[in-house]
Structure 1
Amino acid sequence: TGDSSINLQAQEEIIEMKDVFSVKLKRRRFVGQKKGGTLLGITIFKCLNKEENKLTDCAIHLNNLSEDHCHSWFRHLKEILNGFQNRPKSLKVFVNPSSHKREATHVYYEQVAPLFRLADIKTDVTVTEYEGHALSVLKECELQAFDGIALLYLLLHVEGTVCGAFLFCNRVVCVGGDGSVSEVAHGLLLKAQIDAGKDTDYIPTPVRAPVPLGVIPAGTTNILAYTLHGIKHAVTATLHIIMGHIQPVDVCTFSTPTKLLRFGFSAMFGFGARTLALAEKHRWMPSNQRKDFAFIKTLADLKPEECELSFLPLRIQQEDSHENDKITLLYLGSKDQWHKIQGHFLNVSIMAIPCLCSMAPRGLAPNTRLNNGSMALIVVQNTSRTEFIKHLKRYASVKNQFNFPFVETYTVQEVKVQPQLKSGLDAKENRYLNAASAEGNYPWNIDGDLMKEASQIHVRVHPQLINLYG
């Protein structure tokens, strides 16, 4: 194990123990011999920080033929390693195999599991078999038996138009539909509320998740792992877990007036949700074709949603904002004063994290952070198809995607979205866009999962509700 190996004999080398994650006795063994052997020294395994946020493991060999010296140093180094409190000793692991050649399973057993074994981390592995499997396991899981949760999932590469980044970079679920990061995060937080005796239909102040969550990507495009690690690399994500690198992250609750829908990180209403709804109706198509078809068809039949937005602005100074960024910030006299806007909107995005990915270098919500206690409310007013496409293309560039007269952004802590129910729905709209059913249900894209609701959706941000490895 290890991308590189260093043999220290007559040279001096400084090794910081904070970078070391394992120490082993080094022995010479014959072919087929599993125990015993001639003791040659000890091997130290450390984490190296390479360029572009990439982490890798490195083996350093210290040669010494004295068994007393080797065992003494081995015990002493193990005691130091055991003193790092954030490093997990036991993990509950969910592997989402997806439907694409079971690549996630291969990545786990070939790249991830050997590192966990090397770091002496005990694992309890569940390979998810259907949508909701991880959620059902977490509801029955005794979380106190583990130091953390690790999820390895596959997200297939998304080919298509540049504009496709607007919707499909936001998707954090496996294309195969067997599980998702948001499903595990929701299950982890829901389990915490149940254990705390909370009413799960109404949770104004949820309790924090008791254990951290680690996200290990096995595909090429995802937002949560990219936002956390700055790179899509399974070994990097694994080493962040092993080293106990923890970041507190804000989480949203999505609720109707009568029940909690789910915990999540981001949502779209309008174009982003309509496209996902249409793609879900054509799951018989190959994945990339289905997405391209849904995107192009929704764009061709572009129509705004009529709704009322109520939001509670956050009284903070926006950091890292540029003069040419079009950002609307409301500084109201009372921190509890709600603001309302009503009209026709092509898309409404509500995001508690920046949603970075390789296809959107600035992120879908570049003016928020992982844990600043706020959400970005991005409102795209009704405009021409040509202008809307220009807005979408900006997501794939370094230019400010909000610098349009029809785009408004707000920094908020709560949002209420109330669709205006229509009568006499257009048959073509029902057929192709799946906008509103006869019962008046409207589609929502919550962390890439499709949800339909007719009533008002209330979104609250809860600061640092979960710890993520990264």
Structure 2
Amino acid sequence: MDQPEIGEFILSEQVRVNGRITAATLSSGGELGWGDRRLDVKKQVLGFSVEGSEIKIRAVVEAAAGSWCSGDKTKLIRKCFTLELLSIDSLRLWSQKLQEYLDSLGRPKRLFVFVNPYGGKKSASTIFVSDVKPLLDDASVEYTVQETKYQLHAKEVARSLDLAKYDGIVCVSGDGILVEVLNGLLIREDWENAIKIPLGVVPAGTGNGMVKSLLDSCGEPCAASNATMSIIRGHKRSLDVATISQGDTKFFSMLMLAWGLVADIDIESEKYRWMGSARLDFYGLQRILGLRKYNGSIIFVPASGFESYGEPIDVEKEVIFEGESKPKSDDGPVTTQDYGYQGPKVDMKSLNWRKINGPFVSIWLHNVPWGGEDTMAAPDAQFSDGCLDLIMIKDCPKLSLLMLMNGLNDGSHVKSPHVSYLKVKAFILQPGPRVDDQTKAGIIDVDGEVLARGKGSYKSEEKTLMSYDKLLIKVDQGLATLFAPSLDLADLIPIPRD
């Protein structure tokens, strides 16, 4: 771990450690030390307790090199260190100063914790008990645990939760529960205050793209202990939220939208769920060998530096904005209430819209770098830049596509000449049918769940929130707040909105 700035000593005292007298110090920079041991209080010390003349320091340290994972990404393990003070006055002073320093860090004291026992390998309950709970207890964090019992349960709870009782909401799950919580907060009448509550996530699902992105950005492994520590430390960073709208119907996304190849693999491979994560590779090969292309078009506002993509369009003729037309499915869309967050207020007609016509192999929008623990979909994505990263494939030979998909684990796929990679500030998807069979359409996948199914697609008989039609996507820069593994000053400085 990086060493803290030492600064002046707040405390300096002779103590007994393991039967030996040694000097112990606590500096204004947050370094606690004795003998050969140094602890960064901000990063490593969870809490302490007083037992008789002893202070028990509860902390985390890095596991021995090579004991858990490869490379320089190391798992954290719990440790308890005992300092015996030599007088009652010294014991009182050390207890007081240690508590004052910990209190000054602004760490969360009360958390609401969702545990999804059904996601991924159904291991979330075990992960909470073995990895999360001991760290929260060591840090004296109070918590309320809610196991999710059915789809959208977390959304229902977040919608009505008394947020004044908590300093944050934590999801021990994959990305799905986190997205449910976001949507629950944003449909509240008090959404403007609700969305300010920090959200944390501990990896315990199939797709752990958000927590992987957070931890990897600081060189930490995607492990439950590291994720829990990032929550306990209380550091925060802002996150863009994308509002996907179709008429009056809205969905709030924090991860990704896929249409075409990626969506087909993600959703249709569910039939092979018994294979575990290997189902994606197995079905991905099938889909590449039987490659589909989709008609349609995309309309977008490019970020600065990407204006060369697409062709300029006449906004009045091409773009349908809210209130001017409402696409409808056969059963009609499932609409949300009028109150709650309605999406960012943007003069859409004043923007520099450009258009690209299909056919397309794949359209993939990403808000953060990682789509899963092994999928770096958008290596240049930022948490709060006001943009979505667009990864587009229009045409690609099958062999090249196989090689390209192998590059997803390190982000090298975006360097392929068959991939267009750019940043967009707003986006309109106009999906169409398959090129080879006009009677069959595709799937629109948002944050790992089906947002819309076209006719003849996989499980097309099932109802979805939106119809397989035009979607408008707008980005609200830095709307949500996440617990993060380190304090990123760039995220604390407001970036001017265009």
Same fold (TM over 0.5): yes
Match runs of 1:149-160 below 5 Å: 149-153=169-173
* Shift in alpha-carbon separation, 1:278–1:218, aligned structure 2, 3 A: closer
Task: Name the amino acid aligned to 1:183.
Answer: E
The residue aligned with 2:55 is: 42
Q: Which one of the candidate residues 223, 232, 236 is aligned to 2:209?
A: 223
Structure 1 distance, partners of 2:149, 2:357, is: 43
Structure 1 distance, partners of 2:433, 2:120, is: 40
The residue aligned with 1:277 is: 267
Is the contact made by 2:54 and 2:82 (CA closer than 8 Å) also made in structure 1? Answer: yes
The residue aligned with 1:401 is: 413
| Number of equivalences | 393
Structure 2 distance, partners of 1:188, 1:90, is: 18
The residue aligned with 1:190 is: 187
Is the contact made by 2:259 and 2:363 (CA closer than 8 Å) also made in structure 1? Answer: yes
The residue aligned with 2:49 is: 25
Match runs of 1:85-164 below 5 Å: 85=106, 87-98=107-118, 102-153=122-173
Q: Which one of the candidate residues 34, 55, 60 is aligned to 2:81?
A: 60
Instruction: Give ranges in structure 2 of 5+ residues lacking alignment.
Output: 1-16, 26-30, 33-39, 64-71, 313-348, 453-466, 485-498
Structure 2 distance, partners of 1:353, 1:374, is: 10
Structure 2 distance, partners of 1:408, 1:424, is: 23
Structure 1 distance, partners of 2:200, 2:471, is: 29
Please tell me whether residue 299 in structure 1 is matched to residue 313 in structure 2.
no
- How far 1:290 moved relative to its partner? 5.1
Q: Which one of the candidate residues 366, 375, 381 is aligned to 1:351?
A: 366
Structure 1 distance, partners of 2:171, 2:451, is: 23
Q: Which one of the candidate residues 66, 78, 82 is aligned to 2:103?
A: 82
Instruction: Give ranges in structure 1 of 5+ residues lacking alignment.
Output: 1-5, 28-38, 156-171, 174-179, 197-205, 319-326, 431-435, 437-441
What SS does the aligned partner of 2:414 have?
coil
- How far 1:77 moved relative to its partner? 2.1
Please tell me whether residue 419 in structure 1 is matched to residue 431 in structure 2.
yes
Structure 2 distance, partners of 1:425, 1:330, is: 26
TM-score (norm 1): 0.74
The residue aligned with 1:253 is: 243
- How far 1:82 moved relative to its partner? 1.8
Structure 1 distance, partners of 2:208, 2:273, is: 23
* Shift in alpha-carbon separation, 1:23–1:207, aligned structure 2, 3 A: closer
Task: Name the amino acid aligned to 2:83.
Answer: L
* Shift in alpha-carbon separation, 1:117–1:413, aligned structure 2, 3 A: same
- How far 1:137 moved relative to its partner? 0.9
Is the contact made by 1:25 and 1:70 (CA closer than 8 Å) also made in structure 2? Answer: no
What SS does the aligned partner of 1:365 have?
coil
The residue aligned with 1:469 is: 483
What SS does the aligned partner of 1:402 have?
helix
- How far 1:132 moved relative to its partner? 1.2
What SS does the aligned partner of 1:395 have?
helix
Provide the identity percentage: 25
- How far 1:377 moved relative to its partner? 1.2
Is the contact made by 2:364 and 2:391 (CA closer than 8 Å) also made in structure 1? Answer: yes
Deviates more, 1:45-54 or 1:351-360: 45-54
Deviates more, 1:48-57 or 1:132-141: 48-57
Is the contact made by 1:348 and 1:378 (CA closer than 8 Å) also made in structure 2? Answer: yes
The residue aligned with 1:446 is: 446
- How far 1:55 moved relative to its partner? 4.2
* Shift in alpha-carbon separation, 1:467–1:99, aligned structure 2, 3 A: closer
The residue aligned with 1:337 is: 352
Offset from partner CA, 1:361-420 (integer Å, 9 cap, x none): xx211122122221111110123322322221222356x313333321221110101123
What SS does the aligned partner of 2:369 have?
coil
- How far 1:123 moved relative to its partner? 0.4
Structure 2 distance, partners of 1:78, 1:368, is: 39
Is the contact made by 1:56 and 1:239 (CA closer than 8 Å) also made in structure 2? Answer: no
The residue aligned with 2:66 is: none
- How far 1:450 moved relative to its partner? 1.5
The residue aligned with 2:456 is: none
- How far 1:330 moved relative to its partner? 8.6
Is the contact made by 1:53 and 1:229 (CA closer than 8 Å) also made in structure 2? Answer: no
- How far 1:67 moved relative to its partner? 3.8
Task: Name the amino acid aligned to 1:52.
Answer: K
Structure 2 distance, partners of 1:328, 1:218, is: 41
The residue aligned with 2:346 is: none
Is the contact made by 1:220 and 1:232 (CA closer than 8 Å) also made in structure 2? Answer: no
* Shift in alpha-carbon separation, 1:466–1:98, aligned structure 2, 3 A: same
